[in-house]
Amino acid sequence: MTLKSINPATGEMMGTYEEIAPEEAARAIVRCDAAFAAWRETSFSERGALMKGAASVLRNRREEYATLMALEMGKPVRQGRAEIEKCAWVCDYYAERAGSFLESEIVATDARKSFISYRPLGVILAVMPWNFPFWQVFRFAAPALMAGNAALLKHASNVCGCALAIEDVFAKAGFPAGLFKTLLAPSGSVEAFIAHPAVKAVTLTGSTPAGRAVASAAGRMLKKTVLELGGSDPYVIMEDADVEKAAAVCAESRLVNSGQSCIAAKRFIVTAPRERQFTEIFVQKMLAARVGDPLDGATDVGPLARLDLREELHRQVMESVASGAGCLTGGRISEGAGAYYPPTVLRGVEKGMSAYDEELFGPVAAIITVMDEEEAIRTANDTSFGLGAALFTKDLERAERIAASRIEAGSCFVNSFVKSDPRLPFGGIKDSGYGRELSYFGIREFVNIKTVYVA
């Protein structure tokens, strides 16, 4: 099977890649496992020096990698540069902290000595999506490798160039041959990779159906999984919010990565006294975003990654409008080449509409009006997803109470848009998955948390 890389801004074929043969994939997994056998015995300082080297490679080749993302999946190049910088940050973060995060912990018991040891598991398979083609790999790879594991990458088929470039980052940084390996393969190959005895665990970032499929395959083999899946993040604007600031933050979050982010703002839940003012400012902000060539540094919104994704997004918009939602701007497929879709705002969105019930993966915003705080919280939680959420209010004591105990999500940000940060755990609940990436929680997901008891 031939895997294709197509520029979503022009429809031009960027490259073709041959799928790895099953027997060659099996040999690569064995080589990865062999590299792990030596790597697991290296010190944190040795690993950290190489991981710092990976950060340097990323920074030195930032323009090249940002351009590659723009060409393969349409990410505006300015955002691509920021993504590469963030990848370098996560490499530095774990290079400096992995040793302390995984230091043995003495526990007082009736034994002469008892402690908790953290040891690597082995080869970890990462199944990654196209929307943040570097960041989502590095936020897994940096902690996994620093913990002493080896890594296999099965990336999305439309970003093969990025997948190979990431493998090259680790090679250029001096990591042992075979320790990080990219397997160019379609989704149908994942189950066979999981079944290989050398693969000890799996992490996936992707859709909820993909998560169920991977969890099912791994479960049959009794292998650990971490799943970061879809989201329909609610952004709640209370009656006492700074509406100007809230509208600006909401528009920025809705349009990040051209709206193709699991933790982008999706549903805007506005209390009735603020709905009109918020909507007016929000629409202005959405209209002000510059749509265009992702290679242009001034572009805010590029094309969607594929034409079929645009068709699916447009279906959701049209079905919502047919069910009674008002379309304040956008809502029409752009003319000309490329998978472009205009920033779109839907008003009067209600339960039962596609824009309310489904994840909108593109620059489409759904405004939902509620009467008070209680209805806002019920509406925010009225979803099968639970990845991120945001709350806008001037009453910070109230905000902390709601964010900490009442919003059902893996994270809740107050007066800010949701984002991942190496210092904080990242992940979801409900149909948004389980397990955590980043912080010390993330590095401990793929280790043997081992009790040692000396009588």
d(CA 311, CA 97): 44
Question: Which amino acid does the sequence have at 247?
Answer: A
| Active-site residue, 160 included | no
| Active-site residue, 412 included | no
Secondary structure of the chain: what % helix, strand, coil (to 5)?
Answer: 45, 20, 35
Is residue 249 within 8 A of residue 215, CB to CB? The reply is: no
- The closest alpha carbon to 447, from 34, 94, 27, belongs to 94
Is residue 34 within 8 A of residue 52, CB to CB? The reply is: no
Residues in CB range of 249: below 8 A, 6 or more apart: 390, 392, 415, 416, 417
Residue 368 parent element (H or E): strand 364-370
Question: Which amino acid does the sequence have at 43?
Answer: S
Angle CA(202)–CA(204)–CA(210) in degrees, nearest 5?
115
Max Cα distance, the chain (Å): 75
For residue 404, count other CB atoms closer than 10 A to its CB.
10
Is residue 29 within 8 A of residue 193, CB to CB? The reply is: yes
Residue of 32, 91, 262, 412 marked catalytic: 262
Q: What is each CA distance from 35 to 30, 38, 139, 184, 315, in whole angstroms?
A: 9, 6, 21, 20, 47
Q: What is each CA distance from 160 to 61, 92, 258, in whole angstroms?
A: 18, 25, 21
Strand (E) positions, 140-229? Answer: 150-154, 180-182, 199-205, 224-228
Buried b (16+ CB within 10 A) or exposed e, 158-191: bbbbbbbbbbebbbebebbebbbbbbbbeeebbe
d(CA 99, CA 67): 34
Is residue 346 within 8 A of residue 321, CB to CB? The reply is: yes
Residues in CB range of 27: below 8 A, 6 or more apart: none
Residue of 72, 83, 228, 359 marked catalytic: 228
Is residue 360 within 8 A of residue 379, CB to CB? The reply is: no
Annotated catalytic residues are 228, 262
